[in-house]
Structures are given as structure tokens and as C-alpha cells.
Amino acid sequence: MKLTLILATASVAVAQQCINVSVEGDATYCIQGPICGGNGDKCPTRTTAAAAGCRPGLPSYFAQWNNCWAPEDAKCMKLKTGAMGCVYPSKGPQKMDGPTPEELDAAISQKMAAEVTEGCTNVSVEGDATYCIDGPICGGNGDKCPVKGAIASQSCRSGLFSYNGQQNRCVAPEDAKCMKIKTGAMGCVYPSKGPQKMDAEAVELATGTEGCTNVSVEGDATYCIDGPICGGNGDKCPVKGTVASQSCRSGLFSYNGQQNRCVAPEDAKCMKIKTGAMGCVYPSKGPQKMAHVRSVHGDEA
């Protein structure tokens, strides 16, 4: 079965030929050049998602969703060091009193951040985050899974096996292996955790027909459906009554406490989501806003 999770990355900037640039006292963003401080004056604009260096306490940090988005357009101006750099106008250039913790964190995170390869494919690790790797991926036409040290491209949240509290991101703690998972399909699993169990009825309902493809519903769980799926080459989304194949947890719109599983409460529709890509959305919820007052958490959805 093909287990490709197709949803645009929120927590990592996957722009073709983008270049990392830091905002003074804030996170690092990957934008199209020529960037400020290089040969140009380009800086992150409002709602640009951070590529690295996001952590609580930054001007761009949104606690509700545990991620960073630029709260305003940054401008290219002279920094405290005398060099040109990106600055939020409402903050203004900081004084020259030595590097701040934010600057140090941004520099370290930028150095450690994994390079996002053009053409990489998102693949989930069972019970964990999603990683963008070079294929052929497990569940598709190959057996590739994230290796130790790989940084999650989406669905990262506190409490996951890969979550690193000090870095405030998810990093694969070991090599994931391609093996049969709870649905009967092939998927990536951390060997120390082993495939998760699923009761017989849930397996029957969640497995679906051979050849199903995993697709996420924005802000919700992941479902394995017959394609062509939304965000790929089609517009198929989970329909009411579909049982989630993975990423189910309490608190989601689809979570059924009595059954202890996630079941689509309504037909999801294929529409443009906050990242600009096409994705499945519950009509009663509508696409989540990418605005300064709300953003994506990075949950397993």
C-alpha cells in the first residue's frame, strides 16, 4: 500500500532555492533571495513560517500552536553590529550588548536544521511525526524511512517520542524501519516502540481496499482512502464514517471517546488550505487561518 502523507509543510519552509535569513531577536526563515545582508534587501513577510530557531518567547511564537510565523513584515536595516539585517519595525534594531539568547539559538538551530531536498516525500512514523525524505518511501514503491537525526517536516508536538524540548522540534531518535503496521499496511516504525496494536474491528474498518493512500484532514487525523487523493493528482478526501488509519488522539474533532478511535464526523472537502496548497478540510471547520492570531500547531494532521 502506498502510505504517502500529502500535505504542505507548515513547520519547514520548502521553497525552491530558498535561502535562510534570520530576523533580529527572532527565528530564521527560508525565503526567495536576494536576501538582506547578502546582495539584496529581501526579508520575511507577515505569516511566513519559520524554518528554524522557533521557541517560546520569540515575537513570532504562537503558544496555541507551538510554532512561529512572522507577525509583521520585517525590514532590511542596519543592525547593532553595523551589518545589514532583517528587523521587525515594531521592535527596531537592538543595542550592541553582546549576542542575545535568541540570536544564539537561531544560529545553532540554523546550523543544525536539516536541508530540505527538492522532491522529497512526506512519510509518517507510526505514532510520531512526519518527515520529508528522499524516496522511494516505505508504503509507496520502496522501503525508505527517516533515519536517526532527521528533523520532522510537520506534525511535531510535545509528547511525541521524537520531541526534543530543548530544541523545540522533533528529531528522529533512531532509524525507523519499514514493517507491517496495525492497519496491515507497510509503514515506518521505530524499532524500540514496535508496531502499535489495533483491535480487529478497527483494523477491518481502517484498512480499506488494497492500494489506499494516507491523506490528512487539516487539524485532524490521517485516513487511508482510495485515490486519487486531494493534494496529489485528484480531489478525494475522507467521507463521513471513515476510520482514521493513524494520528488519532483525544481532542481531535473526529475523536470518539466511547469507541476510543477517530471517525470522520462529516465529508471532508478538497480546498486551498493555510499554506496555499490543496488539502482536505472539514466544511464545518473551514480552512485554518494563517493569520497572526492563529496558526498551525504541527499536530499529527
- Positive or negative, the Cα torsion across 163, 124, 46, 292? negative
Residues 6+ apart with CB under 8 A from 293: none
β 130-133/121-124 pair status: antiparallel
pLDDT at res. 298: 40
Q: Is the pLDDT of residue 4 over 90?
A: no
Three-class secondary structure of residue 201 per DSSP: helix
Q: Is the pLDDT of residue 127 over 80?
A: yes
C-alpha 14/C-alpha 118 separation (Å) is 8
* pLDDT bracket for residue 123 (50, 70, 90): confident
pLDDT at res. 230: 82
- Residue 38 burial (CB count, 10 A): 12
Q: Which residues of 9-35 are buried (b: 16+ CB within 10 A; e: fewer)?
A: bbbbbbeeebbbbbbbbbbbbbbeeeb
Burial of 40 (0-12, 13-18, 19+ CB in 10 A): middle
Q: What is the mean pLDDT of the chain?
A: 77
Average pLDDT over residues 62-88: 89
Q: Is the pLDDT of residue 92 over 80?
A: no
pLDDT at res. 86: 92
Average pLDDT over residues 154-164: 85
Which region, left, alpha or beta, applies to residue 10 given φ > 0 means left and ψ of -120 to 50 means alpha? alpha
Average pLDDT over residues 155-171: 85
Q: Is the pLDDT of residue 22 over 50?
A: yes
Chain position carrying cell 547593532: 80
Q: Tell me the pLDDT tens digit for each residue of 179-237.
A: 888 777 788 999 998 776 544 444 444 444 456 778 888 888 888 888 788 876 788 89
* pLDDT bracket for residue 76 (50, 70, 90): very high
Q: Tell me the pLDDT tens digit for each residue of 27-50.
A: 999 998 789 987 889 999 999 999
Q: Tell me the pLDDT tens digit for each residue of 231-270.
A: 767 888 999 999 988 888 888 899 888 788 899 999 999 9
Question: What is the pTM for the complete model shown?
Answer: 0.36
Q: Is the pLDDT of residue 109 over 50?
A: no
Q: Is the pLDDT of residue 124 over 70?
A: yes
**pLDDT > 70 in the chain, percent:** 75
C-alpha 34/C-alpha 37 separation (Å) is 9
pLDDT at res. 29: 94
Q: Is the pLDDT of residue 10 over 90?
A: no
Average pLDDT over residues 155-159: 82
Q: Is the pLDDT of residue 73 over 90?
A: yes
pLDDT at res. 198: 43
Amino acid, single-letter form, for residue 159: G
DSSP structural state of residue 147: P
The neighbouring-strand residues paired with 201 are: none
Of residues 287 and 5, which shows the higher confidence score? 287
Please report which residue ranges of the chain form alpha helices under DSSP H: 101-112, 200-207
pLDDT at res. 245: 84
pLDDT at res. 214: 81
The length of the chain is: 301
Provide the strand spans (E) within 103-226.
Answer: 121-124, 130-133, 163-164, 169-170, 177-180, 186-189, 213-216, 222-225
Three-class secondary structure of residue 6 per DSSP: coil
Bond into 44 cis (ω within 30): no
Average pLDDT over residues 287-298: 43
Burial of 284 (0-12, 13-18, 19+ CB in 10 A): exposed
Average pLDDT over residues 281-286: 89
* pLDDT bracket for residue 138 (50, 70, 90): confident
Cβ–Cβ < 8 Å for 15, 30: yes
